[in-house]
Each structure stands twice: as C-alpha cells, then as structure tokens.
Amino acid sequence: MQQTTQQTTQNQSVLQRFFKLEQHGTNVKTEVIAGATTFLTMVYIVFINPSILGAAGMDTQSVFITTALITAFGSIFMGLFANLPVALAPAMGLNAFFAYTVVSKLGLSWQVGMGTIFWGAVGLFLLTLFQVRYWLIASIPTSLRVGITAGIGLFIALMGFQNSGIVVGHPQTLLTLGNLYSTHVLLGILGFFIIVILAARNIHAAVLVSIAVVTALALALGDVKFNGIFSAPPSISNVVGQVDLSGALDVGLLGIVFSFMLVNLFDSSGTLLGVTEKAGLADEKGRFPKMKQALFVDSISSVSGAYIGTSSVTAYIESSSGVSVGGRTGLTAVVTGILFLLVIFLSPLASLVPLYATAGALIYVGILMSSSLIKVRWDDLTEATPAFITAAMMPFTYSITEGIAFGFISYCVMKVFTGKIRAISIPVWVVSILFLVKIVFIDKGIMH
C-alpha cells in the first residue's frame, strides 16, 4: 500500500514538472477533471462528423474511427508540445461545406474533395512556417472575420434544419416548413431543446445528453437497430490515404482550396486566442506561451486529418469548458486525447445514431457562431454591409466560398466609393482580387 502511494506521488511529481502545474496554479486532479469536462463537451463530434461526411459517400464506421484518432492525437500533441489546455478535432462547418457543397453540389468525388481540404491545410501550414499567419489575421477587418464566423454558423444551422426535416425543399419558394407531425421532425426538435435548455443551465455535456436521449427514443420506436456497444475498431483502409491529391489541383478548384485555408486560418487561430485568454495565458496583444508550437501542431494535424479521411482539423472552442473548471496546462488536452482513444472501441454506436439525433447540435452550433454578429459596427454601413453580405450569402448560395468572396469584394467596394480606401489592407486587396479573378475567369468557364 505504501509502495503504491509512493509510486502515485512520483508519477504526480513527473507530471508536475513536465506540465509546470504549480507555476500555473493547478494540480493533477484539477487537470484530469478539466480534461474529462472538455471531452464530454466535444465528444459529439465522433457522431456528427461521420453523419455529415457520410452524405458525401464516405464510410461512416471508418470516419468514426479516423475522427476519434485525429482528435486524440491532435489533442495529445497540443498538450505535450505546446502545454496548452486546448483540444483539436475536425471543424464543424467545413465538414458540411465539404459534404454538401464541394461533393454534392459540385458533383466531385469525396476523394477529390478531401484533396482540396488537404491542399488548404498545406497552405495553412506554409503560412505558419513562414510566420505570416498572425499578420494575416491582424490585417483582416473585424467585420469580415465576424461575417465569416456567423455565416458558417447560419450554414451549419441550415444543415441542422434540413437533417431534422424541419425545413425541406420547395419548387416555388425554394424552402418551406417540413411535416411537423413526422416522428423524425419531432425527435429532432426535442433534441435541439434538450441541448439549449441544458446549456443554459451550464451543463457541459448538453450535446452528448441530447444525442443519447434522441437515439434511445429512436431505438425504442424501432427506427434504428442496436448492433452492440463495444467492438474491435473496423478497418479504415477504405478512407485512409484515399485522398486524390492530383485531382484536387484542378485550376477550377483553387477557390475551394483557398476557402478551406482561409476559414481554417480564422477558426483555429481565433479559438487559440480565445481559450488562452480565458485561461489567463495570453497577454494584451494576444500572445501566449509556446504560440509557435501550438500553431504548428494545429496546422500539421489539419494536414494529417485530411490524409486519413476527415475534414479540416481545428482548435475547439469547447476547450473553454475545461478551462472553466480549472484546466490551465497541456495535461488537460492529454487527458481529453486519451479519452478519445478509448472511444474507438465504441464504433457500433456510430451506426446507431440517426441523422436527426445530431441535427439539434448543428442548430446549437449555429446559434453560438452567429452570436459573433454583435461585434459588428451596425451604425457604419461600410462595416455592416460586408459583414451582412458574408454571413447571408453562405446559406443563401449554399457555399462558404461564395460568402467569403462576396464579403471581401463588397468590403473593397464600400471603402473605395465612400472615400475610405486607406482602410483596405494589402491582404484584403489580394484576397478580393483573387476572388474576382475566380468569378470572372474560372467560374465563367465552369458555368459554360
């Protein structure tokens, strides 16, 4: 007994030194609790990501495993190399963009679509390598950054409304209200309200609870079939390494590649800043310890994620739930990663969860992301217009790329013709011109 106690103390001592727990005012117990909290808050991704990527024709069982693996290793590496309480996972929004726009709307194979994600991630890595990443973020105006975030939120919410059957297509009005008497619709609505009510009561596992309740009801109603809980992980050879790198280099897909890179740039970097600030690790200029290592981990994870068959990997804002209960070091992220490794033995659950069980989570994410619109200066039309155009065009054109393109172009138009041309930074000019070239030359060729 005494030997066991001494061994435990020694292990804690090793963790104390490696993660510098005392310097950050925390301890092993607090970090473990924080890691488990972050895990419970974001574990929904292993059910939602396969559901979305499955719409692109990918094998959901395999995607379940690859999602858990990239989340686990990305989070563990962030903890070990950057010592930050930040977990990584496939990005919400970009997975929907990949499945419903890049593959379904454009008619591309999922292999080529995954190739566009890969090259976008490579672009993000190069921006990190040459240390221009934060220069770009600092140069993009708040109205456009907020517009992009909110637009993706609206786009995700639209996916949720469609997956639940609340909103359906209509030949005259484009969209209309679905059949509210349908069991699928009612369960989708129930799942959404479970999430928002529990989240409003500060219950971190709200999304997971909602998915579990709706899936249990679907099982009781005979809508899904139970295939067990535990099993050996299925083969992932049908998705790992199947990315079509050469096919994704088509000039007509450059706008999509650029969009993946740009959105991931804002999403991951912004999340890193937000979480580290909440943890008290960032200074007044947004800099935090081991920033360089953190940026390399998230960009390399994104490249690796695309190669093994998941959407772009990003830092997760759900990490703030772990921070809120005391997580301050990389041990939090390591614990989260280890728990995701254990998830790979629960693959039968992936086939059990119906599409409408995850719809509420998509709508909830839409609410969270759209709330950023409060940062827009609505009394200044030169700022409000591009923010609104960016956000509105994403769901209305069913494309994140088009939303970004029209947002940047409208920003330049508004500033130039109101005498505020000096407010346009070089990166904004470059991005706007690139999108204009895409619209005038590349898109025209595709349409004809």
Q: What's the per-residue H, E or C state across 126-164?
A: HHHHCCCHHHHHHHCCHHHHHHHHHHHHHHHHHHHHHHH
Q: What does the pLDDT average to over 328-347?
A: 91
Instruction: Kindly report the number of other CB atoms within 10 A of residue 175's CB atom.
Output: 13
Q: What is the mean pLDDT of the chain?
A: 86
What gap in Å lies between CA 311 and CA 333, rounded to an integer? 20
Higher pLDDT, residue 232 or 128: 128
Question: What is the reported pLDDT for 3?
Answer: 53
Q: What does the pLDDT average to over 396-419?
A: 90
Work out the widest C-alpha separation in the chain, in whole angstroms.
78
Higher pLDDT, residue 26 or 6: 26
First-to-last alpha carbon distance for the chain, in angstroms, is: 78
Exposure letters 329-340 (e unless 16+ CB within 10 A, then b): bbbbbbbbbbbb
Report whether 31 contacts 329 (CB < 8 A). yes
Q: Taking the model in full, what pTM does it have?
A: 0.78
Query: Which of 97-101, 121-125, 164-168 shows the lowest mean pLDDT across its residues?
Result: 97-101
Report whether 96 contacts 52 (CB < 8 A). yes
What SS3 state is found at 169? strand
Specify which residues 176 forms β-bridges with.
Answer: 168
What SS3 state is found at 176? strand
**Domain spans of the chain?**
26-374
In this predicted structure, the answer to whether residue 8 has a pLDDT above a threshold of 80 is: no
What gap in Å lies between CA 342 and CA 322, rounded to an integer? 19
Question: What is the reported pLDDT for 218?
Answer: 92
Locus of tokens 């109205």: 143
In this predicted structure, the answer to whether residue 182 has a pLDDT above a threshold of 60 is: yes
Report whether 154 contacts 391 (CB < 8 A). yes
What gap in Å lies between CA 40 and CA 336, rounded to an integer? 9
In this predicted structure, the answer to whether residue 359 has a pLDDT above a threshold of 70 is: yes
Instruction: Kindly report the number of other CB atoms within 10 A of residue 426's CB atom.
Output: 10
DSSP 425: -
In this predicted structure, the answer to whether residue 67 has a pLDDT above a threshold of 90 is: yes
What gap in Å lies between CA 258 and CA 249, rounded to an integer? 12
Q: What is the CA radius of gyration of the chain?
A: 22
DSSP 374: G
Tokens of 295: 């940026």
Query: Which of 24-28, 169-173, 266-270 shows the lowest mean pLDDT across its residues?
Result: 266-270
Question: What is the reported pLDDT for 41?
Answer: 78
What gap in Å lies between CA 174 and CA 127, rounded to an integer? 40
- Per-residue pLDDT of 278-327, as tens digits, reads 677 776 655 777 888 988 999 999 999 999 989 889 888 788 778 877 88
Output the DSSP codes for 305-338: HHHHT---EEE-TTHHHHHHTT--SHHHHHHHHH
Tokens of 285: 């200029």
Exposure letters 216-241 (e unless 16+ CB within 10 A, then b): ebbeeeeebeeeeeeeebbebeebee
DSSP 224: S
In this predicted structure, the answer to whether residue 435 has a pLDDT above a threshold of 80 is: yes
Strands, DSSP E only, in 146-264? 167-170, 174-177
Locus of tokens 């499945």: 99
In this predicted structure, the answer to whether residue 445 has a pLDDT above a threshold of 60 is: no
- Per-residue pLDDT of 198-214, as tens digits, reads 989 988 778 888 888 99
